[in-house]
Amino acid sequence: MSDARQLQSTAAGPFEAILIGVTPHGDERSAPEILEELAELADTGEFVIAGCVAQHRRHPDPNTYLGRGKLDELAELVEQTGAKVVICDDSLSPAQGRNIEQALGTLVLDRSELILHIFAHHARSPQAKLQVELAQLLYQIPRLKRMWTHLERQRGGIGVRGGAGEKQIDLDRSELRARIATCQRQLQVIEGRKAREVRTRADQFTIALVGYTNAGKSTLMNSLTQAGVLAEDRLFSTLDTRTRPWRLPGGRVVLLSDTVGFIRKLPHQLVSSFHATLEEALNADLLFLLVDGSSPHAIDHLHTVEEVLESLGAGNLPRIYVVNKRDRIDDMSLLTPLHRHGGTSVLVSARTGAGLGDLTDTLVGYLGRIEREVELVVPHDAGHLQPEIRSGTTVLREEYREDGCHLHVQLTDAMLARLLARGARQKT
């Protein structure tokens, strides 16, 4: 591993970084505006922004990402600021990363590496740590030569066959593949256990919170369930799926699941390694798709989330659009494009609680449309089922008679089958 990468991985930091990106011709935004999201990611990764360079061109240069003139300009900026890191807004090929590092003499991180770095910092559970490690290993394998070119240079030139760098690459590749296999085996064990947990609540109605990172999913979960989960105003503060009970008016309980936020250009290695975690939440009966209504990029963020859902095979799941952060919206007319997007939408503030009653009413109305109404008879000797019925169904009417308690309820087919199997009767 090169000296720059050793510095990045072992020193306390933070390091000064210069951000770079390529944008199409006609984009009139300034470089800081173009690289606004990358700056947020860099800040989350604990880098200090020393400057921004954006180039207008049809496609990134296949060899150096930026054109030669812009690369020279970037080299001057690196020298002037003393920045230790250059962070690119796109994923770089191994050749592009190697060529830029050679031209600048400094560490170059691409967007994927930065996001992986952030995920590694935020991973808390054994499953999240393994998933992040697996994504990092999958990312590193095709880039080993870039990491070991310093050994090649010590032997008198890049690409000397049989040199120290080439031998080290072979050793590293073997070690990485062995570790990848180990991570995959360990994840299979954890994911198998998680899958069994999910199956035990198959008859309960589950809602998955999905949205762009920092849209307010964890804050909404806390407001609805008093879950006390971590909610920070930072990107990717949540990596694990958390499921909590949400008690509706009347006593019925549904399950609310929160998981990792989405972002544009999400590294495919992360999508792959976190697939089981995402799948756990996306096996839900309904999605609450959160959008930060105060963001000028709300529509773009919404499209990104829907693209990721489509890639996960969840594009057709029913959803309610939850436009969050209404307390930060000065001009409500800015929400017009969101309302035109289609579907059911509710405007809320997860932080202040405004609109949460409307969200609850919308959910109750949705349940009324999709679930079946039946009359259950709970015999006196099966009275232990009544708490389960009250928490797992919507009780519309009830009456005590000689043969037991008659409850007119609204429920899922799975819950009905469970109650009938445990002693309740359906009145026809």
E-only strand ranges, 60-197 = 85-88, 107-109
What is the structure's pLDDT at 168? Answer: 67
- Say yes or no to pLDDT of 165 above 50: no
Q: What pLDDT does residue 214 have? A: 87
* Rounded-to-integer distance, Cα 309 and Cα 136, Å: 23
Return the pLDDT at 280.
67
The confidence band for 229, taking pLDDT boundaries of 50, 70 and 90, is low
Find the mean pLDDT for residues 346-360. Answer: 95
Contact of 86 with 18, CB cutoff 8 Å: yes
Tokens of residue 183, six digits: 């991570």
Mean pLDDT of the chain: 85
* pLDDT, position 232: 60
Q: Summarize the confidence of residues 113-118 as an average pLDDT.
A: 90
Domains detected in the chain: 3-109 (3.40.50.11060), 113-200 (no CATH), 202-368 (3.40.50.300), 371-427 (3.30.70.240)
Average pLDDT over residues 335-354: 83
Question: Would the pLDDT of 251 be above 80?
Answer: yes
Specify the pLDDT at position 5. Answer: 45
Could you tell me if residue 38 is left (phi over 0), alpha (psi between -120 and 50 degrees) or otherwise beta? alpha
Angle between helices 94-104 and 68-81 (to 10 degrees): 50
User: What are the residues facing 399 on neighbouring strands?
Assistant: 406
Evaluate whether 81 touches 18 at the Cβ level (below 8 Å): yes
What's the average model confidence in pLDDT over 33-46?
92
* SS3 label, residue 321: strand
Contact (CB, 8 A) for 142 and 112 = no
Quote the crossing angle between the two packed helices 164-200 and 126-140, to the nearest 10°.
Answer: 150
pLDDT at 228: 65
Quick one: CA torsion of 87, 91, 95, 98, rounded to 10 degrees?
A: 20
Bridge partners of residue 289, in order along the sequence: 210, 321
In the predicted model, is pLDDT for residue 344 greater than 60? yes
Q: How far apart are CA 108 and CA 100, in angstroms?
A: 7
User: What are the angstrom distances between the C-alpha of 333 and each of 51, 230, 324?
Assistant: 34, 32, 15
User: Among residues of the chain, what percentage have pLDDT more than 70?
Assistant: 86
Residue of 152, 139, 38 lying closest to 89 (CA atoms): 38
CA distance linking residue 252 with residue 357, whole number of Å? 15
Residue with more model confidence, 2 or 97 = 97
Global confidence as pTM: 0.82
Residue 313's pLDDT band, with cuts at 50, 70 and 90, is: confident
The whole-number average pLDDT for the span 235-244 is 74
3-state secondary structure (DSSP) of residue 349: coil
Report the candidate in 250, 249, 241 with the shortest Cα–Cα distance to residue 206: 241
**Closest to 282 in 3D by CA, of 208, 193, 195:** 208
Least confident piece of the model among 65-79, 91-105, 298-312, 350-364:
298-312
Confidence of residue 155 (pLDDT cuts 50, 70, 90): very low
- Tens digits of residue pLDDT in 283-296: 889 999 999 999 98
- The residue type found at 186 is Q
pLDDT attached to residue 13: 56
pLDDT at residue 277 tops 80: no
Residue 296: what pLDDT?
87
Which of 412, 417, 321 has the alpha carbon at shortest distance from 369?
Answer: 412
**Per-residue confidence at 2, pLDDT binned at 50, 70, 90?**
very low
